[in-house]
Amino acid sequence: MDGKQFSDAVRSLGVKVIERPGYLQHNREGHGNWGPVNGVLHHHTVTKGTAATVSIVDKGYADLPGPLCHGMIAKNGDLHMIGWGRANHAGLGDPDVLAAVIAETTLPKPKRNTIDGNARFYGFESENLGDGKDPWPAAQLRTMAAVGFVLCRYHKWSERSVIGHLEWQVGKVDPRGPGVSMAGIRKATGALLRPVPKPKPPATAPKPPPVLHPVPLTTEARVALLEGRVAKLEGKG
Ligand SMILES: [Zn+2]
């Protein structure tokens, strides 16, 4: 999916999207493949403060150059677009997990880190301390579902193509904390993919037939009617 097309689609869902200058060209091209993409990976940042977090995921670390994701989801639900293309977020993961994501079947537990996930997954970092205590606000969870929804709709994937870093790579715990679970994120993503149809409005009562008013008789008709009655009476008398 094109990066600009993606951010516009998320914005159209009512999410505030902040595009970092140059994000469409910010990637790890030349350090491995990008694509074919098979899914969406969610992370937490282990950072505090949105501005500091944006800077970290944009630049990365000395031993892990940025971008560290495609988009960073702040605690207030804003999506900061960081990069597009190959990003340093997924690392090596389990090929059986990748196979399950492609087949959209039940995920096995990751057992070996042997296959490059940065080529295969869109990645979203969400601002959270990652200590298992820092809560996940509803606005942030909504945007996590929104980004997965836009990508699944585009690629014709189900919500089973949305996984957490902890489901991909041995040794990872993200995302975690009060209010977040990958089952919950997938459920919310699926609800966007398959909105429940609104109940039909109650059937309105059938319109009563229009009342037919008798056509008033003309004067001539009334006179003729009376004349007839008089003639009858006279005939009887
Ligand atoms: Zn992660």
Tell me whether residue 165 is exposed, middle or buried, using C-beta atoms within 10 angstroms of its C-beta: 0 to 12, 13 to 18, 19 or more: buried
Within a domain: 208: no
The pLDDT, as a whole number, for residue 237 is 54
Q: Is the peptide bond before 175 cis (omega within 30 degrees of 0)?
A: yes
For ligand 1, the distance from its centroid to the CA atom of residue 174, given in whole angstroms, is 6
Give, for 223, the enclosing helix (H) or strand (E).
Answer: helix 219-236
The pLDDT, as a whole number, for residue 197 is 86
For ligand 1, the distance from its centroid to the CA atom of residue 90, given in whole angstroms, is 7
Tell me how far apart the alpha carbons of residues 68 and 125 are, in angstroms, rounded to a whole number: 8
Within a domain: 235: no
CATH of the domain at 22: 3.40.80.10
For ligand 1, the distance from its centroid to the CA atom of residue 150, given in whole angstroms, is 21
Within a domain: 198: no
Which domain, by its residues, includes 111?
3-193
Within a domain: 94: yes
Count the domains in the chain.
1
The pLDDT, as a whole number, for residue 37 is 98
Within a domain: 218: no
Mean pLDDT of each 10-residue bin along the chain, 237 residues long? 97 98 97 97 98 97 96 98 98 98 98 98 98 98 98 98 98 98 98 91 78 77 86 75
Give, for 43, the enclosing helix (H) or strand (E).
Answer: strand 39-44
Residue that has been written with the tokens 């096995």 in this structure:
108
For ligand 1, the distance from its centroid to the CA atom of residue 155, given in whole angstroms, is 23
For ligand 1, the distance from its centroid to the CA atom of residue 173, given in whole angstroms, is 8
Within a domain: 139: yes
For ligand 1, the distance from its centroid to the CA atom of residue 96, given in whole angstroms, is 19
